[in-house]
Chain A
Amino acid sequence: MRLRKKSLATSVSALLAAALMLSACAGGTKTANPSPDTGDKGSSTPTEAVSDKYVLGEQPLDFSFYGHYDWYTMPTWGEDAATKWIKENKKVDVKAINSQGNAQQKFNTMIASGELPDVIWMDRNSDVEKLRENDMLVPYDDYLDKYPNLKEWLGEAGINMLRSPDGKLYQFPNWYTSQPNGNAGYVVNSKIYKELGEPKLETTDDLTKYLEAVKAKYGNTVVPFEPGIEGQGIDILYSAFKEDALTRWVSIRGVPNGDKLTSIFTDPTYRESMQYAAKLFRDKLISQDALTQTADQIKEKVMTGRVAVYAASSPTENAMNAHAELVKKDPDAGYFMIWPIHKEGLDKNKIFPGTYTQLGWNVSVITKAAKDPEAIFAFLDWYTGPEGQTLLMWGPEGGYWDGYEEDGITPKFTEKYVTDAAGLGKLQADTTNLQWNGNTVFIDTAKAKYESTLPEEERNWSTRWQYEVTWKTQANATEFITLDPAPESEEGIIRQRVEDIYTEARAKALFAKDDAEVLAVLDKAEADAQAAGYEKLLAYKTTKWQANLAQMNGQ
């Protein structure tokens, strides 16, 4: 005991010494932390430059770019054909600041030190709002009319949706669209389907029978229903049990009921779909590794044709590669997509296994650290326009395309586009990771115009099923974006609890022994969530949702 007292005394004195040093040190760091000053300098530039339009390529433009994701590493600018062209012809150079797999902490240190990159590419979430509140972002409003692409392709309504509470626009969207997009759905193994006599595969009952038949015939060698990573296919099944039900509701943990969002745990559709999924799982018709498997394992199963039905939010990448591989050996093998499964009695045209939002996936923000934000905006706007998009997707003119169709923006594809598929694939593999402001409508339209001229068998597998199935069956969920509260707010703390409860309940329900247990698990989750303050969280999300609706209706 004597010892502990003494050691405590030393640690305290050491701490005191540290605190003394700290006060000395803090004085030093403060001077090196002039974030408000640099902010002022940055914002004064655009007002001076309002009169004249920035022309890309006249002056060199350098800026730094940070992709706020663990997995993202920006390819070196100027190494591929497309950005090399930009570097040479438009004099634009982009310096990467990479997260090195440590995005959150990197981001925190950048804020704490006030040393922000010029552009941050990030999710459209509360972090954007925090940056804005603390006066770290540059609004785009002054530039919108001078550089017309964003306004033209995203549209006024989309821009309004992206506006921050102060009424200004700070975010440049990526893969925004005005038409349905996305790949969620069900992929079916052609060979197994043929061997089982091509039965009707439309309703949930058909699906159960089909999966049972697969299990009976192939035993353990084939996985009847493969739900992809983290059991995505189970959420897809949710859409089968109600007309116009959105899988998005599951991921926001709230189901619209009139003008309110209500609990997911008590939603009859969710309960029914979980009972259905749990039964399939219990009968070993769903991959038993559904919640533990790695992406490699799934790829392997699909590639070797060992799954009968594969449902996921984006199964096309795997299925397309596997299809090409399997067809090589056996023309009857491969995969095709079916119209989404529905419960008997529902209208199959009102079943939506996937969603899209007009605003797309994520955004680029320009920070006040940027020396010439207008120039950066001018570049981003050019990048998202037909010229930039064509360059990124199909390289510089004279390779895979030459000249334009009569509309003046759609590239005319050359012979090489068809004959050198490998080369084009390589180019796109290099440039997709530089696609920060994807313009879905432009790219899809250009592709569609071309593909429609090709005979069916020459069409790209995924493009084909996108036209035939997935784009017709993805619903618009724009009204449900950015409903989440800031993490350290009261609602944010509740949200974290509810997320934990949900994640565990979903897994437990799937592993339940019988239908009654599924309901018991969900009831328990409901009780726990309510105790944690779920009602308050739903009220918060409802308000945000209603605000979105009002904004969309132009109020």
Chain B
Amino acid sequence: MAQISVEQKAVPKRKRDNGFLRFFKQWDIQLMVLPALALIFVFSYIPMYGILMAFQDFNIFKGMGGSPFVGMKHFQMFFESPEFMNVMRNTIVISLLKFAIGFPAPILLALMLNEVRHMFFKRLVQTVSYLPHFLSWVIVSGFVVSLLSTDNGSVNILMEKMNLIKEPINFLSLPEYFWGILVTTGVWKEIGFSSIVYLAAVAGVDPHMYEAADMDGASKFRQIFTITLPSIMPVVIIFMILAIGNLLTAGFEDILLLAKNPVLRGVSDVIDTYVYRIGIENSRFSYATAVGLFKAVISVMLLTIANVIARRSGNSLW
């Protein structure tokens, strides 16, 4: 671990006094971060040599040392595969939809909960809305499938009773409904859980600010925009940057379990489900690693762009 600290301290600005000395002067704060960085180095950086598999024809029996290097072969295979365009489109559309709806939803919920004065009701809604987070996707998809079933599914029965439809709609087999179902289910499952961190942020707002606003006669509605939202903005922005960095992760288990009908593949196949089917299930390690690496590179690029833009607001990751 000494290696890394030596390397890192050599990097910073050389102006002003001697970097070496400055480093030892601030030993107390370096001591706060270096042990953690050492752990990160051991558990995240040491295994990173596995990325090289993307450029090999990895054979698990021979190990990385015995597997031949093949350059960009697997990247090329991915880019040239007939599914590539479709998989990319679905990934981008689904994650943008999830971002557009799934990102603001928990913030909205936190703001709403913040307005509730009845403590019992507030806590009840808080606790209940986070329950679905604990149901595994297997159980959740079981519910969704039976809810939307054409045979005794509650949604179809309800719509028939209200005379909205004559014949049951086969929701889980029609491509036009899939994205809606996926996004709704995802928001439903995570909205309560994701709102917790915003509730924590809201708890940090100084109550005097509201009192002052009340004196000025500002409506509650206005106060949300003039006080609450600006106060939690730093947290919102940081989460937004991280969410943008994850835009290529459109989902996995949810899609695998909700898009069981192969008819939906045209709208449901995303990078992660594709890699699972091609790479993991068939033990094609190099291919899976190559696609994963491609995804990571794009993600870091997206994150960097988001960070640069966010820096204008004074909040950024680095």
Please say whether the chains A and B touch (CB closer than 8 A).
Answer: yes
A positions within 8 Å CB-CB of B = 3-4, 7, 10, 13-15, 17-22, 25-26, 33, 104-105, 108, 111-112, 130, 133-134, 220, 223, 287-289, 291-294, 296-297, 301, 487-488, 492, 496-497, 500, 503-504, 506-508, 511, 528, 532
Known: A17-B7, A108-B60, A112-B63. A291 touches B263 (CB 8 A): yes
Tell me the nearest residue of chain A to B301, going by C-beta. A4
Interface flag for B260 (CB, 8 Å):
yes
Please tell me if the beta carbons of B7 and A488 are within 8 angstroms of each other in the complex.
no
Interchain CB contact under 8 A, A291 and B283: no
Known: A7-B304, A108-B283, A506-B262. A294 touches B145 (CB 8 A): yes
C-alpha spacing A223/B168, complex, angstroms: 14
Query: Does B4 interact with chain A (Cβ within 8 Å)?
Result: yes
Interface centre among B60, B65, B278, B284 (most CB of A within 10 A): B60
Determine if B61 and A104 form an interchain contact, defined as CB atoms under 8 angstroms apart.
no
CB contact between A17 and one of B4, B142, B172, B277 (< 8 Å): that residue: B4
Query: Given A3-B308, A18-B46, A503-B262, A289–B61 Cβ distance below 8 Å?
Result: no
Q: Are B60 and A111 in contact (CB under 8 A)?
A: yes
Chain B count of residues within 8 A CB distance of the other chain: 42
Known interface pairs A111-B61, A288-B173. Does A293 touch B145 (Cβ–Cβ under 8 Å)? yes
Q: Does B146 contact A (CB under 8 A)?
A: yes
A510 and chain B: residue at smallest CB distance: B263
**Additional pairs, 4, CB under 8 Å, beyond known A105-B280, A508-B263:** A104-B281, A291-B173, A292-B260, A503-B265
Asked if B283 and A287 make an inter-chain contact with CB atoms under 8 angstroms apart, the answer reads no
Question: From DSSP, what is the main secondary structure of chain B's interface residues?
Answer: helix
State whether A18 touches B48 (Cβ < 8 A): yes
Residues of A within 8 Å of B63, CB to CB, are 33, 112
A488 & B151 in contact (Cβ 8 Å cutoff): no
- Bound-state Cα–Cα, A26 to B49, Å: 10
Q: Which residues of chain B are within 8 angstroms of A492 by Cβ–Cβ distance?
A: 282
**9 residue pairs bridging A and B, Cβ less than 8 Å apart:** A10-B11, A18-B46, A112-B60, A288-B168, A289-B172, A291-B263, A297-B151, A497-B82, A500-B265
The 6 closest A-B pairs by CB, nearest first: A487-B282, A507-B262, A288-B150, A18-B45, A291-B261, A134-B61
Q: Determine if B263 and A17 form an interchain contact, defined as CB atoms under 8 angstroms apart.
A: no
In the complex, are the beta carbons of B282 and A488 less than 8 A apart?
Answer: yes
Q: A511 contacts B263, CB within 8 Å?
A: yes
Closest chain B residue to A296 by CB distance? B142
Near A by CB (< 8 A), chain B positions 278-305 give 278, 280-285, 304
Contacts of B83 in A (CB 8 A): 500
Interface of chain B residues 21 through 78 with chain A (CB within 8 A): 41, 45-46, 48-49, 57, 60-61, 63, 65
B194 at interface by CB-CB < 8 Å: no
Residue of chain A at shortest CB distance from B265: A504
**Docked CA distance A14–B5 (Å):** 11
Nearest opposing residue in chain A for B148, CB measure:
A292
Q: Is B3 an interface residue (CB 8 A)?
A: yes
Complex interface bits, B262-279 against A, C-beta within 8 A gives 1, otherwise 0? 110110000000000110
**A-facing residues in B3-18 (Cβ within 8 Å):** 3-4, 7, 11
A-chain residues with CB within 8 Å of residue B46 when the two chains form the complex: 18, 21-22, 25
Seen from chain B, the residues whose Cβ lies within 8 Å of a Cβ on chain A are 3-4, 7, 11, 41, 45-46, 48-49, 57, 60-61, 63, 65, 82-83, 142, 145-146, 149-151, 168, 170, 172-173, 260-263, 265-266, 277-278, 280-285, 304, 308
Q: CB < 8 Å: which of A17, A130, A292, A496 contacts B173?
A: A292
Chain B min CB distance to A73 (Å): 16
Determine the chain A residues whose CB is within 8 A of the CB of B172 once the complex forms. 289, 292
A291 near B260 with CB under 8 A, answer yes
Give the residues in chain B near A105, CB-CB below 8 Å: 280
| Most chain A CB neighbours (cut-off 10 Å) among B49, B170, B262, B278 | B262
Say whether B7 contacts A504, CB under 8 Å: no
Is A291 a contact partner of B61 (Cβ separation < 8 A)? no
Closest Cβ–Cβ distance, residue A422 to chain B (whole Å): 29
Chain B contacts of A133 at CB under 8 A? 61
Smallest Cβ distance from A46 to chain B, in angstroms? 23
**Which of B45, B49, B283 has the most chain A CB within a 10 Å cutoff?**
B283
Q: Which of A13, A104, A287 contacts B151 (CB under 8 A)?
A: A287
Kindly provide the distance from the CB of B185 to the nearest chain A CB, expressed in whole angstroms.
Answer: 14
A402 to B146, CA, bound (A): 49
Please name all residues of chain A whose beta carbon is closer than 8 Å to the beta carbon of B150 when the two chains form the complex.
Answer: 288-289
How far, in angstroms, from A403 to B230 measured CA to CA in the complex? Answer: 85
Q: Which residues does chain A contribute within 8 Å of B7, judged by CB atoms?
A: 13, 17
Cross-chain contact B151 with A301 (CB below 8 angstroms): yes
Q: What chain B residues lie within 8 Å of A22 (beta carbons)?
A: 46, 49
Q: Which of B4, B282, B284, B304 has most chain A Cβ within 10 Å?
A: B282
Name the one of B262, B281, B284 contacting A488, with C-beta atoms under 8 angstroms.
B284
Closest B residue to A111 by CB, please name it: B60
For A25, list chain B residues within 8 Å (CB): 46
Establish whether residues B151 and A289, one from each chain, have CB atoms under 8 Å apart when the complex forms. yes
A15 B48 Cβ-Cβ under 8 A: yes
In the complex the two chains form, what is the Cα distance from A488 to B58 in whole Å? 10
Q: Which residues of A contact B57 (CB under 8 A)?
A: 488
A4 touches B151 (CB 8 A): no
Give the residue name and chain of the A residue nearest to B60 (CB). A111
B48 touches A297 (CB 8 A): no
B282 and A511 form a contact (CB under 8 A) = no
A552 to B303, CA, bound (A): 60
- By a CB distance below 8 angstroms, the chain B residues around A7 are 304
Please tell me if the beta carbons of B151 and A17 are within 8 angstroms of each other in the complex: no
**Is there contact, CB below 8 Å, between A496 and B263?**
no
Q: Which residues of B contact A301 (CB under 8 A)?
A: 151
Contacts of A104 in B (CB 8 A): 280-281, 283
Complex contact A26–B65 (CB within 8 A): yes
Chain B residue at minimal CB-CB distance from A109: B60
Q: Which residues of B contact A291 (CB under 8 A)?
A: 173, 260-263
Cα A31 to Cα B277 with chains together (Å): 34
The answer to whether A507 touches B261 (Cβ under 8 A) is: yes
Q: How far apart sit A17 and B49, CA to CA, in the bound complex (Å)? A: 11
Please give, as numbers and ranges, the residues of chain B lying within 8 Å of A503 by CB-CB distance: 262, 265
Chain A residue nearest to B146 in the complex (CB): A297
Residues of B within 8 A of A508 (CB): 262-263
Across the interface, which residues of B come within 8 angstroms of A17, CB to CB? Answer: 3-4, 7, 41, 45
Least Cβ–Cβ distance between B79 and chain A, in angstroms: 15
Interchain CB contact under 8 A, B282 and A496: yes
A110 to chain B, nearest CB (A): 10
Query: In the complex, which residue of chain A has the Cβ closest to the Cβ of B42?
Result: A21
* Residues of chain A with a CB closer than 8 A to B60's CB: 108, 111-112
Q: How many angstroms from the CA of A500 to the CA of B273 in the assembled complex?
A: 12
Whose C-beta in chain A lies nearest to the C-beta of B83?
A500
Chain B contacts of A26 at CB under 8 A? 49, 65
B45–A21 CB distance below 8 A: yes
Closest partner residue, chain B, to A11 (CB atom): B300
Report Cα–Cα, A506/B263, bound state, in Å.
9
Contact of B61 with A130 in the complex, beta carbons under 8 Å: yes
A297 and B304 CA atoms in complex are apart in Å by 47
Tell me the complex Cα distance, A18–B52, Å: 12
Bound form: Cα–Cα A17–B281 in Å: 33
Q: B7 to chain A: closest CB distance in Å?
A: 7
User: Is the pair A294, B142 in contact by a Cβ cutoff of 8 Å?
Assistant: yes
